[in-house]
């Protein structure tokens, strides 16, 4: 259960995506977090499989795709073909068919992630994780759809509950993470950290990535 720092490419210069991806990897990023929004499940509209496919030609990095879409099932095949590494879908968008989504993602060769909005009880994902088909749970620490929001500390109780129940699960947090909030997330048990503006807006992104990794590793050692 290693620390993984995943800069959110939503905060990058989209006109220079390949160069921005390489810059983050050179700064020590473990994963590249790709926010896929359909303009329906969330108001914003970002990227889809064609952009993932284009980026894949320029990098062998782990592409951690977060699907903020109404019909996750429709995206599994296109993203697998495009070269996505991980496919994280929202439980709120797939309460009727999460088992079909997770199995299809797994069969397509991608890692399976499931995500919760701030208002969704953590208990909703227990059946998915218990099924054995889920590799990662993403706890949103802001409302999904836009970058640059303020971290919601009350969401840390979900991280703690997950870590207590699943000691070896990859638990990811996304939203408002940076030097001032990383300690709360690390202490709660998160090991995968998504950070956008705090990394891309920093004078020294490598220092921010390093600080966040150290926080996670120190918290793990303490527990």
What is the distance between the terminal CA atoms of the chain, rounded to a whole angstrom? 13
Query: Residues forming the annotated binding site for substrate?
Result: 8, 66, 145-148, 176, 196-197
Question: For 175-201, what is each residue's pLDDT tens digit?
Answer: 999 999 999 999 999 999 999 999 999
Neighbour tally for 202: CB within 10 Å: 17
CA atoms 206, 33, 149, 190: torsion sign: negative
Contacts for 93-99 with beta carbons within 8 Å, 24 or more apart?
93/41, 93/67, 93/69, 95/124, 97/73, 98/128, 99/128, 99/131, 99/133
Task: Check if the beta carbon of residue 14 is closer than 8 Å to that of residue 21.
Answer: no
Which residue's structure tokens are 């979900």?
158
What pLDDT sits at residue 223? 81
The tokens for 25 are 């990897």
Catalytic entry in 30, 35, 38, 170: 35
Predicted confidence (pLDDT) at residue 146 exceeds the cutoff of 80: no
Query: Residues forming the annotated binding site for a divalent metal cation?
Result: 33, 35, 66, 174
Catalytic entry in 30, 38, 170, 174: 174
Mean pLDDT of the chain: 96
Q: For residue 168, what pLDDT band results from cuts at 50, 70 and 90?
A: very high
Which domains, from first to last, does the chain contain?
4-222 (3.20.20.70)
Task: Check if the beta carbon of residue 147 is closer than 8 Å to that of residue 197.
Answer: yes
Residue 71 and residue 117: Cα distance in Å, rounded? 16
Determine whether 64 is exposed, middle or buried from the number of CB atoms within 10 Å of its CB (0-12, 13-18, 19+): buried
CA atoms 44, 67, 83, 2: torsion sign: positive
Residue 172 and residue 59: Cα distance in Å, rounded? 22
| Residue 35 among the catalytic residues | yes
Question: For 27-38, what is each residue's pLDDT tens digit?
Answer: 999 999 999 999
Least confident of 100-104, 147-151, 161-165, 201-205: 147-151
Predicted confidence (pLDDT) at residue 113 exceeds the cutoff of 90: yes
Q: Tell me, rounded to whole angstroms, the distance of Cα 207 from its chain centroid.
A: 21
Q: What is the pTM of this model?
A: 0.97
- Give the residue among 107, 9, 21 at the shortest CA–CA distance from 56: 21
Predicted confidence (pLDDT) at residue 147 exceeds the cutoff of 90: no
Residue 2 and residue 143: Cα distance in Å, rounded? 26
């Amino acid at each position: 259960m290693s620390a993984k720092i995943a800069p959110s490419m939503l905060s990058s210069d989209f006109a220079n995506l390949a160069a921005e991806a390489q810059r983050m990897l050179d700064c020590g990023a473990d994963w590249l977090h790709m926010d896929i929004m359909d303009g329906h499940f969330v108001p914003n509209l970002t990227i889809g499989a064609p952009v993932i496919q284009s980026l894949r030609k320029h990098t062998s990095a782990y592409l951690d795709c977060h699907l903020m879409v109404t019909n996750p099932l429709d995206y599994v095949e296109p993203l697998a073909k495009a070269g996505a590494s991980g496919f994280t879908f929202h439980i709120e968008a797939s309460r009727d068919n999460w088992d079909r989504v997770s199995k299809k993602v797994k069969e397509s060769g991608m890692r399976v992630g499931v995500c919760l909005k701030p208002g969704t009880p953590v208990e909703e994902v227990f059946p998915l994780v218990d099924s054995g088909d889920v590799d990662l749970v993403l706890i949103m620490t802001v409302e999904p759809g836009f970058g640059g929001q303020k971290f919601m500390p009350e969401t840390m109780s979900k991280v703690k509950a997950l870590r207590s129940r699943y000691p070896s699960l990859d638990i990811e947090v996304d939203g408002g993470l940076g030097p001032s909030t990383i300690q709360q997330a690390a202490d709660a048990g998160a090991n995968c950290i998504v950070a956008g503006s705090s990394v891309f807006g920093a004078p020294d992104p490598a220092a921010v990535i390093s600080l966040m990794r150290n926080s996670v590793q120190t918290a793990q050692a303490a527990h």
